[in-house]
Amino acid sequence: MNFLSISFTHKNTDIDIREKLSFSSNEKKEEVLRLILSNQSISECMLLSTCNRVEVMAFVNDLEISQSYILKVMSITSGVALNELENRADIYYASGALHHLFLVASSLDSLVIGETQIVGQLKDALKFAIDGKYADLNLKRAVDYSFKCAAEVRNKTEISKNPVSVSSVAVSKAKEIFKSLEGITAVVVGAGKMSELACKHLLSSGAKIILVNRSKERALNLINELNADIKYEPFSNLKDVINSHQLIFSATASPKIVIDDTFIEECEFDRYFFDIAVPRDIEITESLNLKVYSVDDLQEIVKLNLAMREEQAQIAFAIVGRYTNEFFKWLQTLATTPIIKALRLNAKKIAENEIQKAIEKGYLKHSDQEEARKLIHQVFKAYLHKPTINLKNLESDDACAVDLILDIFDIKDEFEKYTSQYSDINLLAKGNTDEI
């Protein structure tokens, strides 16, 4: 069994394809995860779908079969041609899959390096998969370890200081256009996390805000949380609002276009629409005085952001590399500790049986059994010393060797028993393999 990651991001897939792959509703996520798990080669999977990436992380017993099957499921459920997905996907195996996961969690693979939303999105994706019984201990261990890695990256580097998000990049671009947003009225469509971030950055730039949302209650809750003088307009007034102001940000969770050409009226002033949603909210025809910026159009600001953080990013990449190695060493210990314990306890059980037989047959006096027990203990300890060292030094991908040992010594039950006890690294550290 091993880890597999299939990744579609802003780096390999344009927004037209990404929005088709975006599984925004829980029903769609469940459908995809259920279909993926119907393949016997796949034992666990989870799905991460954000505005800049769609990722499937899986635990599988056949990498080639699983990779091919997952891409077919994604093609069927998204309507994107299979060969298109095969040509675009970044696919990672084993340690590569974990290294990629740790990069993602640490915000080193994000459109905006150092953004802070990704950890929460990963937590939500894992919880959704576990609650639905699509993921179990293996993916939980991997994702939990990625959070430890991300925490060290945040603590040991400046990469997340003054955090940047797609929303903040969009506001920065607006400031570049208007020179200053002081006193400018911005329309924000939607009341989710992206809209909240956009509002925060607009407020800090001195802009006035009109918030448009289908749910008045949710909009008012956001206004209360921001504790700011923000005007609410119902969604039914959207057309009037966007034709009366120069600056519009849209970040709804709608799977369909929210603003199309039927909403647009001729205006004498210049207008700038920032579509920071995936799937996109806006599909309108640009003109001399109407410009639309999508997520992918903000790349130049992102590149500048990356250049400014490059030195810190190098430190962060080194941390990710170290955590990847440590995670596989931990997994290796999780596998070998139960084997070692099972071998030693079996040896102890055999020794006890032989001592009792020797006493019953008169080969050994009752008074000598403790000395005999100590001698046998030392013999087995010496005999198993080298195998114990070799087991601890197994390469992390030596799953075949582990399976072979379990079969030869018939200790699968003991192995599973001890593995369940050592699901946490702190418990594992307390494990003692020198019990006999």
Of 141, 162, 183, the residue that ends a domain is: 162
**pLDDT over 80 at 119, yes or no:** yes
Instruction: Examine the domain organization and report whether 63 and 150 are in the same domain.
Output: yes
Query: Is residue 428 assigned to a domain?
Result: no
For the cut 60, the answer to whether the pLDDT of residue 98 exceeds it is: yes
Share of the chain above pLDDT 70, in %: 87
pLDDT bin (cut points 50, 70, 90) of residue 111 is confident
Mean of pLDDT values over 28-44: 95
Do 83 and 221 lie in one domain? The reply is no
| Pairing state between β 53-60 and 2-9 | antiparallel
Residue 227 lies in a domain: yes
**Do 137 and 168 contact (CB within 8 A), yes or no?**
no
Residues 151 and 173 in one domain: no
Handedness of CA 401, 405, 411, 417 (dihedral sign): negative
Residue 256 in this model has a pLDDT that exceeds 50: yes
- pLDDT at position 246: 96
Shared domain check, 192 and 55: no
- In terms of Cβ atoms closer than 10 Å to its own Cβ (0-12, 13-18, 19+), residue 271 is buried
Point out the residues that are catalytic: 51
Q: Is 212 helix (H, G, I), strand (E, B) or coil?
A: strand
3-state DSSP assignment of residue 59: strand
Check pLDDT > 50 for residue 424. no
pLDDT tens-digit profile of 41-80?
999 999 999 878 899 999 999 999 999 999 999 999 999 9
**Is residue 7 classed as helix, strand or coil in its secondary structure?**
strand
- CA distances (Å), 343 to each of 264, 339, 340, 412, 435, in order? 75, 6, 5, 11, 11
Instruction: Say if residue 157 is in the same domain as residue 12.
Output: yes
354 with 380, same domain: the answer is: yes
Query: Looking at residues 383-390, what average pLDDT do you find?
Result: 79
Together in a domain, 279 and 375: no
Structure tokens at 410: 């018939």
Q: Count of domains in the chain?
A: 3
Highest-scoring range by mean pLDDT, 74-78, 309-313, 420-424, 431-435 = 74-78
| C-alpha to C-alpha distance for 398 and 6, rounded to whole angstroms | 23
Residues 150, 198, single domain; the answer is no
Higher pLDDT, 306 or 117: 117
**Boundary-marking domain end, from 139, 162, 185:** 162
Average pLDDT, the chain: 85
> What share of the chain has pLDDT > 90, as a percent?
51
Q: Decide if 434 is inside a domain.
A: no
Domain that holds residue 354: 329-421
- How does pLDDT run across 262-293, given as a tens digit for each residue? 999 999 999 999 999 888 899 999 999 999 99
pLDDT in tens, 164-195: 678 888 998 999 999 999 999 999 999 988 89
The token pair at 149 is: 């890695």
Q: Does the pLDDT at position 348 exceed 70?
A: yes
- Say how far apart CA 365 and CA 376 lie, in whole Å: 15
Give residue for tokens 């259920």: 34
pTM of the model as a whole: 0.64
pLDDT of residue 110: 79
CATH of residue 67's domain is: 3.30.460.30
Q: Residues forming the annotated binding site for substrate?
A: 50-53, 110, 115-117, 121
Asked if residue 176 and residue 51 are part of one domain, the reply reads no
Annotated binding-site ranges for NADP(+): 190-195
pLDDT surpassing 80 at residue 113: no
Residue 176, in any domain of the structure: yes
Q: Has residue 431 got a pLDDT over 50? A: no
Instruction: State which of 244, 272, 307 marks the end of a domain.
Output: 307
Model confidence at 232, pLDDT cuts 50, 70, 90, reads: very high
For every residue of 366-419, DSSP letters joined together read GGGHHHHHHHHHHHHHHHHHHHHHHHHT--TT-HHHHHHHHHHHT-HHHHHHHH
| Residue of 162 and 256 predicted with greater confidence | 256
Mean pLDDT of all residues in 311-333: 84
Annotated binding-site residues read 50-53, 110, 115-117, 121, 190-195
Can you state the angle between helices 63-78 and 26-37, rounded to 10 degrees? 150
Please determine, for residue 399, whether its predicted confidence score (pLDDT) is greater than 60.
no
Enter the DSSP assignment of 48. Answer: E
Higher pLDDT, 391 or 396: 391
Letter string b/e over residues 318-351, b meaning 16 or more CB atoms within 10 A of that residue's CB: ebbeebbeebbebbbbbbbbbbbbbbbebbbeeb
Confidence of residue 428 (pLDDT cuts 50, 70, 90): very low
